[in-house]
Amino acid sequence: MVVTPAVPQIHTIEQLLKATALVASFISILILVWYLARRPPLGRMTKVMLLFGLGVMPIGVSLTGNIAGFEYTLKREFCGSCHVMLPYTQDAEDPKSTSLAAIHSRNGSFGEESCYTCHADYQLFGAMTTKVNGLKHLFYYVTEYANTGPYGEGGKPIHMYRPFQNTMCTRCHSTTAPSWTKVDDHQGMLEDIRRGETKCLDCHTGDKIHPRAFAHGGSGRPPATTASAEK
């Protein structure tokens, strides 16, 4: 029998930050409501209280809430909160799927952040450019995809803003590892792949990575189960 605890448990840093932000905002709102209701004279005590309510606590909410928010935006669950991403995220989460996205998502190094791990920009300001691109995603979602079907049907094919770089693959799949170099198809294009002239995605195509995506000829929806298929 599973017993649900009466008090929400905090297991992660993100949850701790969110709890801290909520507590700080509660204290701040208490102080502000007290001031609005009582309208005390601006004596020393009132100024100190308002400094906490208008400065210290809101700054705490901002810091902890922003960090928690940014951390949450790394998760696949966040990506899937836009319905057009469901063909991608549901496939990645499917334990029976053999797509590259699903296989990588089952790897502990990717886990819940598999979308971000592959699609984030890197280099010095990579995190910032990734977030800016996120704003671009939101803009296009609101202007072009908001009225599409439950899995994004009827919208324009979703595509990447820039070609997927080989370095995103070779960060882990080293082109010097014996397991990589012994593959016949790799040997013939070794230098081209290392220079980026031949893309990994030229052979490991999109339909093998995100098979349910409309852009790769998918239906968007999960495949019918065996039981329903036999009916």
Partner 1 sequence: MISKLTIRRLVLISTITTIVSLGLMVVAIVFPKPLLLVLAMSLGQLFGTLSLALYLLAIVLDLQGVGEHDEIAPHLGLDKPAAREGDEKGA
3-state secondary structure string across 160-204: CCCCCCCHHHHCCCCCCCHHHHCCHHHHCCHHHHHHCCCCHHHHC
Determine the Cα angle at 143 with ends 79 and 101, to 5°. Answer: 25
Stretch of 21-29, 120-128, 169-177, 179-187 contacting partner 1, by CB under 8 A: 21-29
State which of residues 8, 43, 108, 178 lies at the interface with partner 1 (CB under 8 A): 43
CB of 20 to partner 1, least distance (A): 10
- Of 134 and 223, the one with the shorter C-beta distance to partner 1 is 134
Is 72 a residue that touches partner 1 (CB under 8 A)? yes
State which of residues 10, 45, 132, 138 lies at the interface with partner 1 (CB under 8 A): 138
Is 62 a residue that touches partner 1 (CB under 8 A)? yes
| Rounded-to-integer distance, Cα 21 and Cα 35, Å | 21
Element (H, E) at 128: helix 126-140
| Rounded-to-integer distance, Cα 32 and Cα 49, Å | 9
* Binding footprint of partner 1 on the chain (CB under 8 A): 18, 21-22, 25, 28-29, 32, 35-36, 39-43, 47, 50-51, 53-55, 58-59, 61-62, 65-66, 68-69, 72-73, 78, 81-82, 134-135, 137-138, 141-142
